[in-house]
Amino acid sequence: MLTFPDSVQIYEVGPRDGLQNEPAPVPTDVKVEFVNRLTAAGLPYIEVSSFVHPRWIPQLADAEDVLTRISRAEGVRYAALVPNQRGLERAREVELADVAVFVSSSETHNQKNLNRSIDESLENIADVMAGLPDGAWTRGYVSMVFGCPYEGEIPVGDVIRVATRLLELGVDQISLGDTVGYGSPRDVRDRMADIATAVPLDKVALHFHDTRGTALANIVAGLDAGVRIYDGAVGGLGGCPYAPGASGNVATEDLVQMLHAMGIETGVDLDALVDAAAFIETHLKKQLPGRYLRAVRGACEV
């Protein structure tokens, strides 16, 4: 028999992980309003942007402006990805206390994405962590946890090595990513059983992409395995430019609707979440893949 919790936390990554691959520039005003609508939905964590060099991700070149202009709510973490020392300097300029760092569990993907080895990335993260102000809170992303388009199956020991090293460096939370949507519910059950022997599950989030339509099923398996934090991107925004075949993240509104139907509390206002998804869909001028959004809003009018 499956075991489910009474409540979980939902972490929203749409403004960063979702928008970073959009080819058409999204105006800063739209991003600010998007984040404000997500705040109104009651999400406890919103990943607003990234301090990667604008040459690599032009869409997020306005990170400072967005983070300065959003309306912040008490109790909400507003974070940005900090890839290196220059990114850390930019984060400190806007007094950002909550940051995210990134590394892959696949050596090949890490080289293609970051142009360095996993060990070099971990050394870089150590430097970033050393430069954070007192009281900073850090999330560490580990990608390709359930398989890699370049290397195939990733040994679970590789995932554990990277995750435990991040914790040793002082990262507060680990988000384990199914970056290309390879995982199945059985994979989730088996991998989380192994990972739980080395990494406390109260420090773990799961980050599923819905490439093969299994994200919600995988989340159910994650719930049964004891994980209580899940990432989503409204509308199903997102993908990975360095992972062939990767489509968007699980749609946050699909996830919240499913959890509420299961009697699991999230603290998120589903109607407000749908409004935020519809808002960004209108400005992107394309239909987003979120199923619940389509169910309540119908076809996208663009």
Domain that holds residue 242: 9-297
Domain assignment present for 302: no
pLDDT at residue 245 greater than cutoff 80: no
Does the pLDDT at position 301 exceed 60?
no
Residue 4 within any structural domain of the chain: no
In tens, the pLDDT along 75-112 reads 999 999 999 999 999 999 999 999 999 999 999 999 99
Mean pLDDT of the chain: 94
Tell me if residue 181 falls in helix, strand or coil.
coil
Burial class (CB in 10 A: 0-12, 13-18, 19+), 211: buried
Is 60 exceeded by the pLDDT of residue 118? yes
240-258 in b/e form (b: 16+ CB < 10 A) is bebbeebbbbbbbbbbbbb
Inside any domain, residue 218:
yes
CA dist 228 → 7, 8, 68, 119, 264 (Å): 8, 5, 30, 29, 11
Q: Per-residue pLDDT tens for 256-299?
A: 999 999 999 999 999 999 999 999 999 999 999 999 999 998 75
| SS3 assignment, position 152 | strand
Per-residue pLDDT at 231 exceeds 90: yes
Q: What is the reported pLDDT for 1?
A: 86
pLDDT score for 243: 52
Is 3 a member of any domain?
A: no
Report if residue 246 sits inside a domain: yes
Is 90 exceeded by the pLDDT of residue 238?
no
Specify the pLDDT at position 239: 64
Structure tokens at 249: 């993240």
In a domain, 2, yes or no: no
- Residue of 70, 206, 227, 240 with catalytic role: 240
Q: 147: domain CATH number?
A: 3.20.20.70
Q: Are 219 and 189 in contact (CB under 8 A)?
A: no
Asked whether 209 and 218 are in contact (CB, 8 A), the reply is no
What pLDDT, in 10s, does the model give residues 27-78?
A: 999 999 999 999 999 999 999 999 999 998 999 999 999 999 999 999 999 9
Question: What does the alpha-carbon distance between residue 10 and residue 46 come to, in Å, rounded to a whole number?
Answer: 9
Q: Would residue 156 count as lying in a domain?
A: yes
At 188 the pLDDT is: 98
Distance from C-alpha of 63 to C-alpha of 28, rounded to nearest angstrom: 9
240 as an active site residue: the answer is yes
Q: Give the count of domains, the chain.
A: 1
pLDDT per residue as tens digits for the range 134-178: 999 999 999 999 999 999 999 999 999 999 999 999 999 999 999
What DSSP letter does each residue of 228-240 carry, written as one string?
-EEEEBGGG----
Q: Does residue 302 carry a pLDDT above 80?
A: no
What global pTM score does this model have? 0.95
